Amino acid sequence: MNLSLTEEQMMIQDMAKKFAESELAPVAAHLDETQDQTIFLDNLAKLTELGFMGLNIKAEYGGVEAGTVAFSLAITELAKACASTAVTTSVTNMVAEVIQAVGNEDQKQNYLPKICGGEYRAGGFCLTENTAGSDPAGMKTTATKDGDYYVINGSKLYITSGTFADVFVVWAVTDPQAKKGKGISCFIVESGTPGMTIGKTEDKMGQKASPTNEVHFENCRVPASAMLGEENKGFALAVGELAGGRIGIGSLALGVGLAAMDYARAYLTERKQFDQPLANFQGLQWKLAERYTELEAARLLLMQAAYTKEQGLPFGKQASMAKLFAAEKANVACYDALQMMGGAGYIKEYPLERFARDVRVTSIYEGTSEIQKVIIARALLSEVQ
């Protein structure tokens, strides 16, 4: 098996690394503290100019057509510096891929160049509700046909980039009489559409610079042409796109975990106790060895999932395995890195406490670790039934 990256993949990884080090790392702590949207949006615009909002989108629609492996590599590098920027980039790519996957030609020509080119600052993925998180089929938001329009009513929760996303993909029940999960459709809704309002920005534990909002729909009228794919077939679309999103979040977790361990490793060589560097103590050496081994295993799982998706093969199980392992091990890495630095790790002067806060949600969003286990187990059992 050839695990080497292509020249294009290495170029994108290097570009993301350099951008993260020069533009994101110097302001990450400030953004965490202040949630300065001017700086945040300016960096998103720069990333858009470099092609990072359409990494897996065809060139004819303004994307760079680099593939899922390149996408994973880029998200990891961005997350090493700023998880908030990485998650917004990941979700925006996810929205673009939904439109590319099932949109008609008019929809792709109209919306994808605006996402890839920056006319739309970000994309929003409106799926989760109060009764529909781990169980998306339980959503209550409705879209009722009214002539050449659909009227959407309901509310969505925990929507990344809600305050400044300019286009949303929104799931709603279009056939309330259908069997659970069978009567759901997906729509493209632009910001500013009458009847759609953005609710409060959540005060989160981490990834603070990336706003997370409620999105409300009250008699929000969208043309029938805004429907993505077939009517009542939106649930399968959501499940498929969530699998792709899990590669993004697993890659983000990997980046934060590596950043934490890299910082702690450097600290161990500088800090002295008992007249010798901390790096000389075997207990700390073993923590380094264990955590880096686990993060490397996470990287390989992510590459396998990304490559499988890129080949057009079923990748849901691989994506869930990669996301589960990467998120869990990155959490361990961040907390161990903080512990290795002792009291310094707990002080905001150092980035470890931010890494620990930023990484925590990776085992929750895009499907909790528990849900990933359910998905993996179902896939494994289906293979022998």
User: For position 39, which CATH number holds?
Assistant: 1.10.540.10
Number of domains in the chain: 3
The pLDDT of residue 271 is above 90? no
Residue 133 confidence (pLDDT): 77
Average pLDDT of the segment spanning 71-78? 98
Asked if 115 and 88 touch (Cβ cutoff 8 Å), the reply is no
Of 12 and 273, which is predicted with more confidence? 12
Long-range contacts formed by 279-284: CB under 8 A, 24+ apart? 284/340
Point out the catalytic residue in the list 129, 214, 328, 366.
366
Residue 214 and residue 260 in one domain: no
Question: Of 101, 121, 141, at which residue does a domain stop?
Answer: 121
Average pLDDT of the segment spanning 193-200? 96
Residue 308 confidence (pLDDT): 96
Asked if 314 and 361 touch (Cβ cutoff 8 Å), the reply is no
Is position 237 within any domain?
no
Average pLDDT of the segment spanning 114-133? 93
State yes or no: is 366 an active-site residue.
yes
Is position 148 within any domain?
yes
Asked if 61 and 112 touch (Cβ cutoff 8 Å), the reply is yes
Residue 274 confidence (pLDDT): 78
The pLDDT of residue 239 is above 90? no
Is position 331 within any domain?
yes
Name the 3-class secondary structure at 328.
helix
Is position 223 within any domain?
yes
The pLDDT of residue 235 is above 90? no
Residue 35 and residue 102 in one domain: yes
Helix axis angle for 83-102 and 68-81, nearest 10°, is 160
The pLDDT of residue 272 is above 80? no
Number of Cβ atoms within 10 Å of the Cβ of 330: 32
Q: Rounded to 5 degrees, what angle do the CA atoms 353, 357, 362 make?
A: 140
Residue 355 zone, left/alpha/beta (φ > 0; ψ -120 to 50; rest): alpha
The pLDDT of residue 118 is above 90? yes
The pLDDT of residue 74 is above 70? yes
Q: Could you tell me what percent of the chain has a pLDDT over 90? A: 87
Q: Could you tell me what percent of the chain has a pLDDT over 70? A: 100
Average pLDDT of the segment spanning 270-276? 78
Residue 106 and residue 130 in one domain: no
Residue 378 and residue 294 in one domain: yes
Nearest to 362 by CA among 212, 219, 203, 249: 249
Residue 177 and residue 208 in one domain: yes
Residue 199 and residue 254 in one domain: no
Residue 378 and residue 250 in one domain: yes
Residue 131 confidence (pLDDT): 82
Nearest to 13 by CA among 353, 329, 302, 312: 302
Average pLDDT of the segment spanning 227-233? 93
Average pLDDT of the segment spanning 120-135? 90
Of 124 and 271, which is predicted with more confidence? 124
Residue 109 and residue 134 in one domain: no
Is position 268 within any domain?
yes
Residue 262 and residue 375 in one domain: yes
Question: Of 232, 250, 274, at which residue does a domain stop?
Answer: 232
Mean pLDDT, the chain, integer: 95
The whole domain housing 210 covers 124-232
The DSSP output letter for 78 is H
Residue 1 confidence (pLDDT): 62
Residue 131 and residue 203 in one domain: yes
- Alpha-carbon gap, residue 168 to 324, rounded angstroms: 27
Is position 1 within any domain?
no
Residue 249 and residue 295 in one domain: yes
Nearest to 239 by CA among 364, 136, 93: 136
Residue 343, CA atoms < 13 Å, CB-side half-sphere: 0
Average pLDDT of the segment spanning 342-355? 94
